[in-house]
Amino acid sequence: MKILVTGAVGFIGSHTAERLQSLGHEVIGVDNYSPYYSVALKELNEKALADKGISVIKKDLRDADLKDALPNDIEYIFHFAAQPGISKTSTFEDYFTNNILATKNLMDYAQQLTDLKMFVNIGTSSIYGLEATFPESMAPEPASHYGVTKLAAEQLVLQKSREKQMKTCSLRLYSVIGPRERPEKMYTKLIACAFNNDSFPLYEGSATHLRSFTYVGDIVDGIVSIIGKEVVVDGEIINLGTEVEHTTQDGIEAVEAVIGKSIKINHVEARAGDQLRTKAIIDKARDLLDYNPQTTLLEGVRKQVEWYQANFEN
């Protein structure tokens, strides 16, 4: 099957592209190489994909000429590309154009693909709001520009299922960790601080925040299991993550245990819109996708530390 993966040189997109290729599919990536974080890291991911025969088209989905720039014989789309996270350096326009406008452009492109079997939107638990401990039927209450615009993007995609124009679904992911995690995210930053003897900036009150820290390999298991279940998942929203909760403090201690040293902490002002608790309710994923994440927090952290040492430690 010929599959397009957007955001292909990003964290989860690159892992998914590799897995799909290993399953025998022809994978084409697209990414705009946004400087939101290190382009060098994206180029490192691109090289890993190239080594496995996966090409990446450099293209911004906000451009209006996607029909000319992307292949016209795509059978599956996994849409990861987005303006991520909660950042003071990101404007509302950044979130609006990258999450809503880009998704609308991609949907227009997808609609003219005669062989398309499924459009899979990659959503986020941030859609639920400050507490993300609910089944998919719960009304969303996003508390950040990121959450609001990802909800809008999700609805743009699911609209096509409601109109019977194409098969679509949306996967809401929970606190993904592992190799290639973005440099501003918690575990990569913790690991870097440990090795470089820097202080980790801990948001006030966040040590007790609860998260469903889910290893990227377990997330990818759920994502690729969509293939072959197009009729079953059409129009559905599905949570993907682990049911096991850990505090931020648990995460800090896991990194310290793996590396074998204490991490200096610098307490900083709380971040507006930060979620207080996430706990993935995955009954639907178990039922529809036979989803069963298994990797423990300590195992995931160990793999991420190994990746960091292999790529950033001399």
Query: pLDDT (tens digit, 9 = 90+) per residue, 45-70?
Result: 999 999 999 999 999 999 999 999 99
Mean pLDDT, range 189-199, rounded to an integer: 96
Q: Check: CB of residue 116 under 8 Å from CB of residue 139.
A: no
pLDDT of residue 314: 60
Mean pLDDT, range 293-311, rounded to an integer: 97
- How large is the angle between the packed helices 39-50 and 11-22, nearest 10 degrees? 0
Structural domain boundaries in the chain? 2-177+215-240
Give the global pTM.
Answer: 0.95
Strands (E), the chain: 2-6, 26-31, 55-58, 76-79, 118-124, 131-132, 168-173, 176-177, 199-203, 210-211, 214-215, 237-240, 246-247, 264-268, 277-278
Mean pLDDT, range 132-150, rounded to an integer: 96
pLDDT tens-digit profile of 230-274? 999 999 999 999 999 999 999 999 999 999 999 999 888 877 777
**Model confidence at 107: pLDDT above 90:** yes
Instruction: Read off the pLDDT band of 279 (50, 70, 90).
Output: very high
**Model confidence at 200: pLDDT above 70:** yes
Q: Of 202, 236, 208, give the one whose Cα is nearest residue 222.
A: 236
Domain 2-177+215-240, CATH: 3.40.50.720
